[in-house]
């Protein structure tokens, strides 16, 4: 009997515990979906029903597309998150390679510095970032949303740990075959790092897609808003107290993220599994 | 083709000295094996020759030219690694083609997608295909070119690795324990193939192994390394018959050479042998001894174990006075001995090797001088 194998009761208890905790995470989402398809009149009913009595609630979705520039918000989200992720890779991969595979004076100190940056909450840097972007006259542009996130300590850390597992002999072989350091990164390290890059991609895209804090500080114009900020800005002006439409809008911005996760899921799990 | 010369190569990691001044010259077209226990610095030496690591002192000359500061790819050496070091995301064909693509194509021609469209690229790619297929045919693996390393067996991966090294016709082949990840049957087979390859290509081979059998069977000359120092370089036979150092003698040959401390055997053996004055140990090969009557021989003891190997029988004899155990090789038609039977061991004195307290060899001329 392995330590993890339990009797029948044990299994039931285990599943009960897991289902309960899973529900804690899921209930807000279920509620969101439920509200998004209810007509306004049913939302504030005294009794709670998961499903609405009629389908007129689907008008909430129509209302969102009609009254809010939701497509524009989604487009902004894709541009900003895509640019952030690409630039993060452009910076993190060479950094991680150098920290993992090259020998130079001060390498360990630099890596320690990366670990320290990992501990700093991003909010701490928001005021310096704001001031710097102000001096560069970049506030209220895509640049303001993208540039502060180009260096990702987490990305450097994750990729470095993975690069360490790639044997030195492979790099030696590549050197003898005539590759430069850049060639080794492009031809060897990146093709072998698919799972880790996918894992990092999920972390990066999810956190920036959902970020409300920074866009709220850096932006004023609605046409540049990312989805999360867009909903917030729009709430007061148009949708006001219409919770049904608000929840429908929220659903619309969450769905692409879930689709993205499901696509990258298998590679994502591979990337986080220690081999 | 090229000669390789090492002059006083030194290397240390932190405080530990890995190479303590190694000098070695390898002739053009020679098959030289570096053999030694793990951690003796032989692989480091190979990396230094390839330029993958810098020596802390000394110089490497390839074809008479000092290659200090010359990058690995410009040294015209190829290396086969213990782990094969194939690119896992590329097919066998692309693995073998990589060194040629990196050399023959410019960076613009290698540019993803666009480079393919240039007419020049297509012509060079055709040449590369021809070269790769030729090498694959030579290694009898043409059918495997479309597979990725993950779909190949150990022996097949080793062929791909050899192909990748051969395809650019290097002046020197470096091999770092290329057979140690293979099972016994494939190892013997690949051993023969590598020897055949050497004969066919006529290129200089420097081969690193910890397996003395590989060293003895494959090479023109063997260099024995221990603790960062070169102990002896000579032809395999010479190394077996005439070792310079007790550690070399112990390393080469299976079963190991028999070693007996002089002080343990002085009483009776003195009658038979004149010791050189500095001698601390004597050694002899299992086939140089014969089993005789007890109490009447140079060494006496009791039989502790007998190993039948078909063509040979190894008799283990535990010597009296705690002088250790020796192994004597006999033929199946020789007299058999029960375990526990008292026996004597006689060694022809021309076949006895003497070593001093520093484990250095004391040559026979010196012995004769004492005897006279």
Residue A196 resides in a domain: yes
Q: Could you tell me if A93 and A224 lie in one domain? A: yes
Q: How far is A178 from chain B (nearest CA, A)?
A: 5
- Residues A154, A202 contacting (CB under 8 angstroms): no
Residue A244 lies in a domain: no
Give how many domains chain A has, as a whole number: 2
> How many Cβ pairs within 8 Å bridge chains A and B?
52
Residue B124 CA to residue B101 CA, distance in Å, equals 9
Question: Looking at residues B179-203, what average pLDDT do you find?
Answer: 88
Q: In chain A, what residues touch B104 (CB-CB under 8 Å)?
A: none
Q: Which long-range contacts (CB under 8 A, 24 or more apart) does B10-17 make?
A: B10/B55, B10/B56, B10/B57, B10/B58, B11/B41, B11/B44, B11/B48, B11/B53, B11/B55, B11/B56, B11/B57, B12/B56, B17/B228
Residue A49 lies in domain: 8-62
For residue A275, tell me if it sits in a domain.
Answer: no
- Residue B369: predicted pLDDT: 45
Domain boundary among the residues A42, A62, A82 is at: A62
Query: Of B41, B9, B43, B47, which is closest to residue B25 (Cα–Cα)?
Result: B9
Are A58 and A178 part of one and the same domain?
no
Most confident of A271-275, B109-113, B288-292: B288-292
Residue A49 counted as domain residue: yes
Query: Are A176 and B82 within 8 A, CB to CB?
Result: no
- Kindly state the average pLDDT of the residues B1-18: 88
- Distance between CA atoms of residues B122 and B105, nearest Å: 10
Confidence of residue B181 (pLDDT cuts 50, 70, 90): confident
A109 with A203, same domain: the answer is yes
Query: Using omega within 30 degrees of 0 as the cis cutoff, is the peptide bond preceding A150 cis?
Result: no
For residues A177 and A126, membership in a common domain is answered with: yes
Q: Are strands B258-261 and B229-234 parallel, antiparallel or unpaired?
A: unpaired
Q: Among A167, A177, A192, whose Cβ lies nearest the Cβ of B102?
A: A177
Which residue carries 């097919």 as its tokens?
Answer: B91
- What residues in chain A have per-residue pLDDT under 70? 1-6, 234, 236-241, 267-275
Please indicate whether residue B365 or residue B216 has the higher confidence score (pLDDT): B216
Residue B299, SS3?
strand
Nearest CA distance, B108 vs chain A (angstrom): 13
pLDDT, residue A275, reads 42
Q: Which stretch of A99-108, A259-268, B181-190, B228-237 has the lowest confidence by average pLDDT?
A: A259-268
A101 and A210 part of one domain: yes
pLDDT the model gives residue B105: 83
Give A-chain residues touching B98 at CB under 8 angstroms: 177
Q: Tell me the shortest Cα–Cα distance from B104 to chain A, in angstroms.
A: 10
Facing residue for A177 by CB, picked from B88, B89, B98: B98
Residues of B in contact with A165 (CB under 8 A): none
Determine the distance in angstroms separating the CA of B76 from the nearest CA of chain A, rounded to an integer.
Answer: 9
DSSP string, B117-170: HSHHHHHHHHHHHHHHHHHHHHTT-GGGTTS-GGGS-HHHHHHHHHHHHHTT--
* Contact residues, chain B to chain A, C-beta under 8 Å: 47, 50, 52, 71-73, 77-79, 81-83, 85-89, 98-99, 102-103, 164
pLDDT over 50 (residue B140): yes
Interface test with B, best of A101, A102, A176, A196 (most B CBs within 10 A): A176
Name the residue of chain B whose CA is nearest to A173's CA.
B85
Q: How far is B96 from chain A (nearest CA, A)?
A: 10
**Shortest Cα distance, chain A CAs vs residue B251, angstroms:** 28
CA distance A75 to A99: 36
Q: What is the DSSP string of B54-75?
A: --SEEEEEETTEE-TT--GGGT
Contact A172 B87 (CB under 8 A): no
A3 lies in a domain? no
A140 and A167 both lie in a single domain: yes
Whether residue A40 sits in one domain with residue A140: no
The token duo for B56 is 């802390």
| Residue A177 placed within a domain | yes
> Are A177 and B82 a contacting pair at CB < 8 A?
no
Nearest Cα neighbor of A217 from A78, A150, A122 is A122
Exposure string (b/e) for A137-163, b if CB count within 10 Å is 16 or more? ebbebeebbbbbbeebbbbbbbbbebb
- Those residues of chain A whose CB sits closer than 8 Å to some CB in chain B are 167, 169-170, 172-179, 183, 187-188, 191-192
Helix runs in chain A, H state only: 8-36, 40-43, 59-67, 70-101, 107-119, 126-135, 142-146, 153-165, 168-176, 181-184, 190-192, 194-210, 213-218, 227-234, 243-272
Q: What is the ipTM of this complex?
A: 0.83
Which chain A positions have a beta carbon within 8 Å of B89's beta carbon? 191-192
In chain B, what residues touch A170 (CB-CB under 8 Å)? 85, 87
Cβ <8 Å between B89 and A192: yes
Q: Is B106 helix (H, G, I), strand (E, B) or coil?
A: coil
Q: pLDDT over 90 for what percent of chain B?
A: 35
- Both A120 and A225 in a single domain? yes
Quick check: A176 and B83 CB within 8 A?
no
Give the residue from A166, A175, A177 with the most B CB atoms within 10 Å of its CB, the best one to mutate: A177
Residue range B334-357, pLDDT digits in tens = 888 888 888 888 888 788 888 888
d(CA B238, CA B243): 7
Query: What per-residue confidence (pLDDT) applies to A229?
Result: 86
Strands B65-66 and B57-62: antiparallel
Closest residue on chain A to B97 (Cα): A177
pLDDT of A241 reads: 66
What pLDDT score does B368 carry?
A: 46
Summarize pLDDT for B21-56 with one digit per residue, the tens: 899 999 999 999 999 988 888 999 999 999 998 889
Report the pLDDT value the prediction gives residue B372, as an integer from 0 to 100: 37
Q: What is the pLDDT of residue A22?
A: 94
Stated pTM of the model: 0.81
* Residue of chain A with shortest Cα separation from B102: A178
Same domain, A24 and A82: no
> Is residue A165 a contact partner of residue A275, using CB atoms and an 8 Å limit?
yes
Q: Domain check: are A89 and A56 in the same one?
A: no
A133 to each of A85, A179, B368, how far by Cα in Å? Answer: 20, 39, 92
Spacing of C-alpha B328 from chain mean position: 26
Quick one: pLDDT at residue A272?
59
Both A28 and A90 in one domain: the answer is no
Chain centre distance of CA B175: 10
Q: What is the C-alpha separation between B22 and B10, in angstroms, rounded?
A: 7
pLDDT at B370: 43
Mark yes or no for CB contact B50/A176 under 8 Å: yes
Quick check: B1 pLDDT over 70? no
**Chain A residues within 8 A of B87 when measuring between CB atoms:** 170, 173-174, 187-188, 191
What's the CATH code of the domain at A183?
1.10.3720.10
d(CA A102, CA A121): 29
Q: Could you tell me the pLDDT band of residue B271, with boundaries at 50, 70 and 90?
A: low
Three-state SS at B215: helix
- Which residues are registered as beta bridge partners of B16? B13
State yes or no: pLDDT of B126 exceeds 80: yes
Q: CA–CA separation, A41 vs B35, rounded Å?
A: 87
- Determine how many CB atoms are found less than 10 A away from the CB of residue B85: 25
DSSP B336: P
Using pLDDT thresholds of 50, 70 and 90, give the confidence band for residue B364. low
Q: How many CA atoms lie within 13 A of B354 on its CB side?
A: 19
Q: Which residue of A has its CA nearest to B161?
A: A173
Q: Write down the pLDDT at residue A122.
A: 85
End-to-end CA distance of chain B: 51
C-beta of residue B21 within 8 angstroms of C-beta of residue B58: yes
Does one domain contain both A226 and A95? yes
HEC string for A109-164: HHHHHHHHHHHCCHHHHHHHHHHHHHHCCCCCCHHHHHHHHCCCHHHHHHHHHHHH
* Pick from B192, B160, B158: nearest CA to B176: B158
Strands B4-13 and B16-26: what pairing? antiparallel
Task: Give me the residue from B82, B89, B103 closest to A191, CB to CB.
Answer: B89
Cα–Cα nearest to A81, from A28, A145, A19 = A145
Mutate to test the interface with A, among B11, B44, B86, B87 (most CBs of A within 10 A): B87
CB contact under 8 A, A170 and B87: yes
Residue A262 located in a structural domain: no
3-state SS, residue B251: helix
Residues in chain A with CB shorter than 8 Å from the CB of B71 are 175
Q: Give domain status of residue A195, yes or no.
A: yes
């Amino acid at each position: 009997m392995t330590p993890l194998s339990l009797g029948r009761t044990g299994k039931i208890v285990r599943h009960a515990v897991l289902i309960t905790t899973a529900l804690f995470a899921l209930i807000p989402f279920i509620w969101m979906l439920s509200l998004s398809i209810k007509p306004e009149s049913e939302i504030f009913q005294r009794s709670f029903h998961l499903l609405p009595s009629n389908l007129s609630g689907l008008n909430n979705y129509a209302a969102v597309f009609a009254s809010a520039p939701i497509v524009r918000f989604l487009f902004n989200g894709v541009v900003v998150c895509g640019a952030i992720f690409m630039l993060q890779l452009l910076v993190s991969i060479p950094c991680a390679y150098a920290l993992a595979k090259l020998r130079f004076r001060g390498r360990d100190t630099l890596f320690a510095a990366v670990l320290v940056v990992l501990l700093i909450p991003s909010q701490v840097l928001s005021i310096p970032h704001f001031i710097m972007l102000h001096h560069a006259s970049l506030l209220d542009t895509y640049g303001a949303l993208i540039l502060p996130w180009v260096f990702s300590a987490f990305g450097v850390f994750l990729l470095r740990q993975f690069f360490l597992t790639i044997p030195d002999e492979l790099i030696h072989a590549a050197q003898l075959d005539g590759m430069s350091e850049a060639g080794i990164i492009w031809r060897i390290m990146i093709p072998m790092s698919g799972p880790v890059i996918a894992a990092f991609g999920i972390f990066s895209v999810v956190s920036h897609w959902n970020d409300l804090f920074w866009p709220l500080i850096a932006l004023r114009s609605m046409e540049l808003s990312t989805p999360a900020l867009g909903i917030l800005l729009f709430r007061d002006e148009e949708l006001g107290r219409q919770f049904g439409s608000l929840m429908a809008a929220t659903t619309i911005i969450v769905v692409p993220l879930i689709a993205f996760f499901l696509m990258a899921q298998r590679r994502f799990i591979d990337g986080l599994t220690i081999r | 083709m090229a000669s390789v010369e090492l002059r006083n190569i030194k290397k240390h990691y932190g405080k530990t000295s890995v190479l303590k001044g190694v000098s070695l010259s390898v002739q053009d077209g020679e098959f030289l094996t570096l053999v030694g226990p793990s951690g003796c610095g032989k692989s480091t030496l190979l990396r230094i020759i390839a330029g993958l690591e810098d020596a802390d002192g000394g110089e490497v000359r390839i074809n008479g030219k000092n290659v200090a500061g010359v990058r690995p790819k410009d040294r015209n050496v190829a290396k086969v690694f213990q782990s094969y070091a194939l690119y896992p995301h590329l097919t066998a064909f692309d693995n073998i083609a990589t060194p040629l693509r990196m050399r023959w194509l410019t960076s613009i021609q290698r540019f993803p997608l666009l480079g393919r469209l240039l007419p020049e690229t297509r012509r060079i790619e055709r040449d590369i295909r021809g070269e790769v297929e030729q090498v694959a045919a030579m290694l009898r693996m043409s059918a495997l070119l479309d597979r990725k390393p993950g779909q190949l067996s150990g022996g097949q991966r080793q062929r791909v690795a050899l192909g990748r090294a051969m395809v650019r016709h290097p002046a020197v082949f470096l091999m770092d324990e290329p057979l140690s990840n293979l099972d016994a049957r494939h190892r013997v087979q690949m051993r023969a193939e590598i020897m055949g390859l050497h004969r066919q290509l006529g290129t200089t081979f420097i081969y690193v192994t910890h397996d003395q059998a590989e060293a003895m069977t494959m090479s023109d000359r063997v260099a024995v390394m221990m603790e960062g120092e070169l102990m002896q370089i000579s032809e395999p036979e010479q190394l077996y018959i005439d070792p310079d150092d007790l550690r070399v003698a112990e390393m080469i040959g299976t079963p190991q050479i028999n070693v007996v401390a002089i002080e343990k055997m002085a009483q009776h053996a003195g009658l038979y042998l004149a010791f050189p004055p500095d001698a601390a140990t004597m050694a002899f090969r299992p086939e140089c001894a014969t089993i005789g009557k007890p109490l009447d021989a140079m060494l006496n003891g009791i039989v502790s174990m007998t190993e039948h190997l078909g063509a040979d029988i190894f008799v283990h004899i535990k010597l009296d006075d705690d002088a250790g155990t020796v192994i004597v090789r006999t033929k199946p038609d020789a007299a058999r001995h029960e375990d526990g039977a008292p026996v004597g061991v006689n060694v022809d004195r021309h076949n006895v090797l003497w070593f001093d307290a520093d484990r250095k060899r004391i040559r026979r001329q010196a012995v004769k001088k004492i005897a006279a």
